Amino acid sequence: MSKLGLLWANLFRRRTRTLLTLLSLLVAMLLFILLRTISLVFTDGSGFSPASVDRLVVAAKYSIIDSLPISALQQIQAVEGVDAVTHAEWFGGVYQDGADFFPKFPVDPKAYFDLHPEFHIDPEQLQAFINTRSGAVAPKDMAEKYGWRIGDKIPIQGDIWGKRDGSRNWEFDLVGLYTGVDEDRSPGVLLLHYDYFDEAREYDSGTTGWFIVRLADGERAAEVANRIDQLFANSSDPTRTSTEAEQQRQFMQQIGDIELMMSGILGAVFFTILLLTGNTMAQSLRERVPELAVLKAVGFGDAAVAALVLGEAVLLCLLGGVLGAALALLVALVIGPGMEQAIGVFEVRATTVAAALGLSAALGLAVGAFPAFRARRLSIIEALRAV
């Protein structure tokens, strides 16, 4: 037996109690790692396409579901400070059994890629997209995921949009693949040919969801946005124009709220754990007063006995942390693919695991400090008299 063996043996003095404490620690660490992983994705923006400051988005003023007349494109184009305009629309639609959703935008192929230089596509494939009315281009990783090859037909069940012939079965020819700025940031959208979509849909022809504007001068975004909104202020389709960066800022603000909420949840969890584990430790100490006195009697110093008590708390918490981290990694494996659909990336980082273990150790020190202090001060003769 070693001193560590002594620590270990003490941990299992009350198996059920230790097990319950371990379980609560495990759940707390699991929560910590998963929530932290999610909030990291948002805060460092690894899940999103980069915003461009020199682009504006023009949408219907009151609801993003409302559409705008395609004819507005000419008017926006004529606004001073606007360099180029294109448009996109939300298609909705279900692929296969609808288990995973991905967005699909009907766009003007040439103008859309022209306004998004961060998307890369082979020029020949772009030309094919322009020429093929039933064409579609997919992000490379999406094509890999569903096993699509150029030339395949992609069937989509329309939910928002039916066809003029009464059917809801859309079919698109995959004519090209495109990528985002870098490998890990998939554009995530299947692009469809607007002309075909507009002609085939059963209602709302001649409209689009929103316009994307490239500014001649990124510095004057506010001014140009104002001008556009004023242009349509008294029309039947008033608009709201904001920069992509602004949109993301608004989104980030919501994320900030999410972060606050997560911190709140974690704070509550850790406070509970602190009380729970602290209580376990205090109880365990009370039961052991005579034993600790005997340890001191046979020659263990005050510091050694204190270290024993503190070590037990740290060992217990670390054990909970390690088990929680292991479970978190396992859970991440299972829910990872689903989470990636929802938020782009979902990867438990080594630093997050390290933070969880650090937190466990700190928790151990926090709950062990007071019992250790009491153990240190414990008087041998008083304790033995109490038997």
Ligand X SMILES: Nc1ncnc2c1ncn2[C@@H]1O[C@H](COP(=O)(O)OP(=O)(O)OP(=O)(O)O)[C@@H](O)[C@H]1O
CB of 224 or CB of 316, closer to another protein: 316
Q: Please answer whether residues 29 and 325 qualify as being in contact, where contact means their C-beta atoms are separated by less than 8 angstroms.
A: yes
d(CA 40, CA 224): 34
Residues in contact with ligand X, total (CB under 6 A)? 3
CB of 257 or CB of 382, closer to ligand X: 382
Residue of 209, 213, 189 lying closest to 198 (CA atoms): 209
What is the number of other CB atoms lying within 10 angstroms of the CB of residue 349?
Answer: 12
Binding characters for another protein, 299-338, by CB under 8 A (x = yes): xxxx------------------------------------
Q: How far is the CB of 385 from ligand X (least distance, A)?
A: 6
Binding characters for another protein, 353-382, by CB under 8 A (x = yes): ---------------------------xx-
Residue of 297, 74, 251 lying closest to 242 (CA atoms): 251
Residue 371 identity: P
Q: Residues 298, 334, 350, 386: which binds another protein (CB under 8 A)?
A: 298
d(CA 352, CA 36): 7
Stretch that binds ligand X, among 77-85, 154-162, 240-248, 379-387 (CB under 6 A): 379-387
Using the rule CB under 6 A, is 382 a contact of ligand X?
yes
Residue of 177, 119, 189, 185 lying closest to 147 (CA atoms): 177
Q: Residues 1, 350, 381, 386: which binds ligand X (CB under 6 A)?
A: 381
Q: How far is the CB of 292 from another protein (least distance, A)?
A: 10
Q: Residues 36, 104, 185, 296: which binds another protein (CB under 8 A)?
A: 296
CB of 148 or CB of 300, closer to another protein: 300
CB of 117 or CB of 301, closer to another protein: 301
Residue of 88, 86, 75, 74 lying closest to 232 (CA atoms): 75
Q: Residues 107, 295, 375, 378: which binds another protein (CB under 8 A)?
A: 295
Binding characters for another protein, 6-25, by CB under 8 A (x = yes): x--xx-xx------------
Contact partner, 384, from ligand X, another protein, none, Cβ < 5-8 Å per class: another protein
**Which of positions 277-296 make contact with ligand X (CB under 6 A)?**
none
Using the rule CB under 6 A, is 386 a contact of ligand X?
no
∠ at Cα 50 (333, 212), nearest 5°? 125
Parallel/antiparallel/unpaired status of strands 55-60 and 239-243: antiparallel
Parallel/antiparallel/unpaired status of strands 190-193 and 68-69: unpaired
β partners of residue 151: none
Residue of 36, 44, 158 lying closest to 92 (CA atoms): 158
Stretch that binds another protein, among 184-192, 298-306, 349-357, 365-373 (CB under 8 A): 298-306
Q: Please answer whether residues 303 and 48 qualify as being in contact, where contact means their C-beta atoms are separated by less than 8 angstroms.
A: no
Residue 257 identity: D
Three-state DSSP class for 178?
Answer: strand
* Cβ-proximal residues to 381 (8 Å cutoff; 6+ apart), any chain: none
Three-state DSSP class for 167?
Answer: coil
Stretch that binds ligand X, among 130-138, 191-199, 246-254, 377-385 (CB under 6 A): 377-385
Binding characters for another protein, 88-127, by CB under 8 A (x = yes): ----------------------------------------
∠ at Cα 346 (342, 352), nearest 5°? 140
Residues near another protein, by CB under 8 A: 1-3, 5-6, 9-10, 12-13, 290-291, 293-302, 380-381, 384-385, 387
Q: Which residues bind ligand X (CB under 6 A)?
A: 381-382, 385
